[in-house]
Structure 1
Amino acid sequence: IFSFADLSLTSHRRPTTQSILEARYRRISSSTNILTRATFVNARWRSIFLHSSTMHLVWYLVALSAFVTLSLTYSTGAPPEACDDMIPQHHAEIQKSSTFPYGIKLSKNKISSGNKVEVTIFGKNGENFRGFFVQGRVGNKRFGQFDPAPNSKLVDCKGGIKDAITHSDSDLKDSVTVTWNSPKRLSERVVFWATVAANGSTYWVAEKSQPLSVV
C-alpha cells in the first residue's frame, strides 16, 4: 500500500556509492576533455607559430643568399656565362634610355695582324664606374686575346682563350686600359664591345667602339 510517508522517504533517499562515483567520473571526464581541447589548441597555435617563424627564417636566408651571390658576382667580375649577351649577373634592368656616360678609346685605328692595341674605358665627364667587361668582335664572333692587367682578370669564353677581360674588384675607377692582341693572318674590322657598370644596379651593355682596321 502506497503512503505519503513512503514518498517522503523516497524523495530524501541518500545517494548511493555508485551514483557518487559516477558523478565524480563525469566531472573528471569533463575536466579531462577540457584539458585535452586546451592542449590541442595550444599545440595548434604553437605549430602555427613555429611554421610562421620557420618560413620567415627561410625567406631571410633566401634573401641573404641572393644578396651574397649578387655581391660576389659584382665584385669579382663577369662570369663566362655572360660572354654571349654581355649582360652581367646583377639581376637589374639594363639602362636603355639614358645616354652612355663613358667612352671607349683605341690607341690606334689601324694595326697589322698579330699586333696590339690599347683599349681605354673612361668617364666622359669624370664619371666613375666599378665594373667592366670587354671583348673584341668581328660581327658577333669574338677574336683575339687580352693581356693581363692590374685589377682585372681574363675570361675564357666558350671556344676561346683569354678572349674577354673583366674587373676583379669593385673599387671606383675613373678609367681602365687593357691591351688586345690581334690574331695572326686576320684582315678584318674589329669592334670592341664593352659592358660598363656604374654600380650593381646601373649598367650599360655591349656599347661599341669605333672600328679598328686589322690588315
Structure 2
Amino acid sequence: MDAVFCGIVILQVFTSVLSFQDGAPASACADMMPRHTGVRPQTNPAPYTIHQSNTTLQTGKPITVVIEGPDYTGVLLEARSGSDSKAIGTWQTPPNNTKFLACSGNKQGAITHANSNIKNNSTVYTWIPPAAAENIFFIATVAQQRTVFWVQVRSSTSSE
C-alpha cells in the first residue's frame, strides 16, 4: 500500500513539472500567468520587445508580429483592446513549434508553444484584426525556460 501511495505521489509531482511543455493552459488567458508550480515571473525588465508590421489597422488585413530578443522556449501571445483582458482578432496558421490556444471563446484567440523547442526572432506570427478594432496592442508571456519568464510583455498600441 505504501509503495502504491509513494508511486502516485511521484507521478503527480512528475506530471506537474512537465505539464506545460506543450503549451499554456486556457486558464492563463486572462492574467497571462504560467501555472508553473513554485515559480514566480522575473521582476527585472524583459529582454523582449514585440514588434508589429503596421500600427495602422485595416479590418481583415494581416499584421505580422515578432517577439525580438534572446531565444525563448515558451510563449503565450494575444491581441487585446484598451483595458480589456479578452483576446481579440484571429491568429493565422501558427509557426512551427507553436499552436492555437482558445481564449475568450475564440478558438484562434491566442498562440502558445507546442513544445519546448527554441523560438526566436525569425518566428513570425500573423494576426487578423476584427472589424472596428481600436487601441490594439499585443501582449505576451515569454519564457526562456520553465523557471525564467516575463509576464505581460506589451507592444505599442495600434489603431484604425
Give TM-score, length-normalised by structure 1: 0.66
Q: Max radius of gyration: which structure?
A: 1
Q: Deviations over 1:17-40 (max 9, x none)?
A: xxxxxxxxxxxxxxxxxxxxxxxx
1:3-14 equivalences in 2 (<5 Å):
none
Residue 146 (structure 1) aligns with: 91
Shift of 1:104: 0.8
Q: Count the aligned residue pairs.
A: 155
Corresponding position of 2:42: 95
**Unmatched segments (≥5 aa) in structure 2:** none
In structure 1, list runs of 5 or more residues that go unmatched: 1-50
Moved over 4 A (4+): none
Structure with greater proportional helix content: 1
For 2:22, the equivalent position in structure 1 comes to: 76
- Structure 1 position 166 matched with structure 2 position 109: no
Within the alignment, does 1:156 sit opposite 2:156 as a pair?
no
Q: Where in structure 2 are the equivalents of 1:199-210 lying within 5 Å?
A: 199-210=145-156
Indicate the residue corresponding to 1:21 in structure 2: none
- How far the C-alpha of 1:156 sits from its partner, in A, is 1.1
Residue deviations 1:150-198 (CA, integer Å, cap 9, x gap): 22111111422311111101012223211110112x1401011100011
Q: Which amino acid aligns with 2:51?
A: K
- For 1:60 and 1:89, the matched residues in 2 are separated by 23
Taking structure 2 as the reference length, the TM-score comes to: 0.87
The structure, 1 or 2, with the larger RCO (C-alpha pairs under 8 Å, 6+ apart) is: 2
Is 1:129 matched up with 2:72? yes
- How far the C-alpha of 1:57 sits from its partner, in A, is 6.3
Alpha-carbon distance, 1:122 to partner: 2.1
Contact 2:49 2:153 in 1 (8 A): no
Corresponding residue of 2:126? 179
Structure in which a larger fraction of residues adopt strand: 2
State the match for 1:86 in structure 2: 32
Letter in 2 for 1:147: Q
Maintained 8 Å contact 2:101/2:107: yes
Counterpart for residue 107 of structure 1 = 53
